[in-house]
Amino acid sequence: DAGVIQSPRHEVTEMGQEVTLRCKPISGHDYLFWYRQTMMRGLELLIYFNNNVPIDDSGMPEDRFSAKMPNASFSTLKIQPSEPRDSAVYFCASSPSPEAYGYTFGSGTRLTVV
């Protein structure tokens, strides 16, 4: 298995532009998590899905952020419009269960908004 695949690895965009981050989870993993990592706040859970259904989106910072999981093999995290404070590394993780020891993280997308 190729693991959790995220794209792009790096994204540089101008303030106000729409940004879409993509994630392909491990096949058979029913849980998918989107995390954001910053120096000041560390790893923060933005949203997670179970069987493609959003379960907890309380970590989504504001309405500019949205996430979808149209099928079991694909999820997107969209920021529209993007702002400089959104600059961070965004990780996607998948798991066969909600238990954290089962998480497999992708390599992350480093987003820079200028």
Interface contacts to another protein, rule CB under 8 A: 4, 39, 41-45, 55-56, 58, 91, 93, 98-108
What CA–CA distances, in Å, run from 80 to 16, 46, 99? 7, 15, 31
Q: DSSP secondary structure string, 50-102?
A: ETTEEEE-TT--STTEEEEEEETTEEEEEESS--GGG-EEEEEEEESSSSGGG
Kindly tell me which of 59 and 81 has the beta carbon lying closer to another protein. Answer: 59
CB of 42 to another protein, least distance (A): 4
CB of 79 to another protein, least distance (A): 20
CB of 95 to another protein, least distance (A): 10
Kindly tell me which of 17 and 51 has the beta carbon lying closer to another protein. Answer: 51
Kindly tell me which of 15 and 43 has the beta carbon lying closer to another protein. Answer: 43
